[in-house]
């Protein structure tokens, strides 16, 4: 049977990584494109998914049998702190339109993307799939967190009432080529890569926000892309599955900044602005369920993936999403 996979958010960091993997892995690989598959990658210029009518028209146009739902209002700590209501409302609308239109058009399977940001702040570590609703999220991003948690609630309700095969995946912090490298609103790795690049170019200090002490567990977008393809094809449970490296592979923000400095070959002044928020101190997640189900997966080592991302940014600076105009 012909399979049409619609990837919402297909023009973003994760969407472009899935497109890269599906176009470059051999057909006989677990992650390669199958001969009966058509993959469609859409962004906000195809349809504003906050709008039900535009969402309906998008589905009418492509008639998907499967959906990987990545589209979201996304941003780093400081953007989440500024726009809590917008993160809540935009994401609620996007998710509700995508899930309900998928139901109405008989989509066979939907995999939506959550995040480890959505977990409770006060919780026993490591995070795992059963703890999503076990307490309030961190105050800094509660708008985004509650909107994303509702996807899991909706998935269960669509299954209970209509038997839909809707599920979700929970990645930790992601980075890679085609990220959003905006200086103020991006996540830490793309933000710091861009800041270090400018510090080197302009001979100015490289300033890292916060104390550098918080810990994060990063996944390379190309690794995550393979895991999403696996979830789409091989994981059929409504309960979410966490997609991440091992919980013992957290790195401090200082280690991230050190690795960027090294990759960029930056030799100037480098400091921390401790007046800025550190956000959540840590949020390590377990990949035990993932590894048990997938039966082994080779993750790209962090330093190697970071170096590739820095090189990508330098090579593609003119076309990267930098938030700079002109
Ligand atoms: P991204 O690079 O910012 O891309 C966001 C994507 O969503 C883009 O394709 C964008 O389209 C689309 N989009 C945004 N608003 C839209 C709207 N109103 N209508 C239609 N499309 C819209 O984000 P990403 O990092 O790839 O994130 C993908 C998924 O991973 C999201 O669900 C996010 O919550 C989740 N996630 C991300 C991280 C991370 O560290 N980046 C961590 C955990 C989970 P245009 O670009 O065409 O406007
Ligand atoms: P979070 O994991 O959702 O908090 O997302 P981020 O990717 O925004 O990471 C935030 C952590 O990185 C906090 O501890 C920040 O203090 C630290 N950080 C250091 N420099 C930057 C920066 O330039 N941008 C961002 N977003 N965070 C930074």
pLDDT in tens, 213-270: 999 999 999 999 999 999 999 999 999 999 999 999 999 999 999 999 999 999 999 9
Predicted TM-score (pTM) above 0.85: yes
Domain containing residue 169: 3-174+217-247
279 located within any domain: no
Percentage of the chain modeled with pLDDT above 90:
98
Q: Is the CB of 171 under 6 A from ligand 1?
A: yes
Which atom of ligand 1 is nearest the CA belonging to 116?
43
Query: Can you tell me which residue has the tokens 């969402």?
Result: 55
3-state helix, strand, coil in the chain (%, to 5): 45, 15, 40
316 located within any domain: no
> Which is the catalytic residue, given 144, 158, 197, 220?
144
Give distance in angstroms: CA of 247 to centre of ligand 2.
19
* 158: annotated active-site residue: no
Q: Identify the residue whose C-alpha is closest to ligand 1 atom 20.
A: 44
Q: Which residues pair with 206 in a beta bridge?
A: 270
55: exposed, middle or buried (Cβ count in 10 Å: 0-12, 13-18, 19+): buried
> What confidence tier does 27 reach under pLDDT thresholds 50, 70, 90?
confident
* Number of separate domains in the chain: 1
> What confidence tier does 302 reach under pLDDT thresholds 50, 70, 90?
very high
> pLDDT per residue over 57-95, tens digit each?
999 999 999 999 999 999 999 999 999 999 999 999 999
8 located within any domain: yes
99 located within any domain: yes
Percentage of the chain modeled with pLDDT above 70:
99
> What confidence tier does 324 reach under pLDDT thresholds 50, 70, 90?
confident
Which atom of ligand 1 is nearest the CA belonging to 13?
26
253 located within any domain: no
Domain containing 163 — which CATH number? 3.40.50.720
326 located within any domain: no
Among candidate residues 192, 240, 249, the one with its CA nearest the CA of residue 216:
249
Give distance in angstroms: CA of 78 to centre of ligand 2.
7
Q: Nearest ligand to the C-alpha of residue 18?
A: 1
265 located within any domain: no
Q: What is the pLDDT of residue 325?
A: 64
- Judged against a pLDDT cut of 60, whether residue 2 lies above it is answered with yes
Which atom of ligand 1 is nearest the CA belonging to 48?
19
């Amino acid at each position: 049977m012909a399979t049409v996979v619609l990837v919402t958010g297909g023009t973003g960091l994760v969407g472009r990584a899935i497109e890269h993997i599906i176009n470059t892995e051999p057909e006989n690989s677990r992650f390669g494109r199958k001969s009966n598959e058509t993959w469609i990658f859409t962004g906000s210029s195809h349809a504003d998914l906050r709008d039900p009518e535009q969402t309906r028209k998008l589905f009418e146009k492509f008639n998907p049998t499967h959906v990987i739902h990545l589209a979201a209002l996304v941003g780093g700590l400081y953007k989440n702190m500024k726009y809590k209501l917008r993160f809540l409302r935009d994401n609620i609308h996007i998710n509700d339109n995508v899930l309900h239109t998928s139901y109405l058009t008989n989509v066979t399977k939907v995999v939506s993307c959550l995040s480890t940001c959505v977990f409770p702040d006060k919780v026993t570590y490591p995070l795992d799939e059963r703890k999503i609703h076990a307490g309030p999220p961190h105050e800094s991003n509660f708008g985004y967190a509650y909107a994303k948690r509702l996807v899991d609630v909706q998935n269960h309700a669509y299954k209970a009432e209509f038997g839909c095969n809707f599920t979700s995946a929970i990645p930790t912090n992601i980075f890679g080529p085609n990220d959003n490298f905006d200086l103020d609103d991006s996540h830490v790795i793309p933000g710091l890569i861009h800041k270090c690049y400018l510090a080197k170019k302009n001979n100015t200090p490289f300033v890292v926000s916060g104390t550098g002490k918080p810990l994060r567990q990063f996944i390379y977008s190309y690794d995550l892309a393979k895991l999403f393809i696996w979830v789409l094809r091989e994981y059929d449970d409504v309960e979410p599955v966490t997609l991440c490296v091992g919980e013992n592979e957290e790195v401090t923000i200082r280690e991230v900044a050190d690795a960027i400095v090294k990759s960029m070959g930056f030799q100037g002044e480098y400091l921390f602005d401790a007046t800025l928020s550190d956000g959540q101190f840590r949020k390590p997640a377990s990949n035990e369920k993932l590894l048990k189900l997938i039966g082994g997966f080779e993750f790209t080592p962090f330093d190697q993936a970071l170096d590739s991302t820095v090189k990508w940014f330098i090579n593609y600076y003119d076309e990267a999403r930098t938030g700079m105009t002109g």
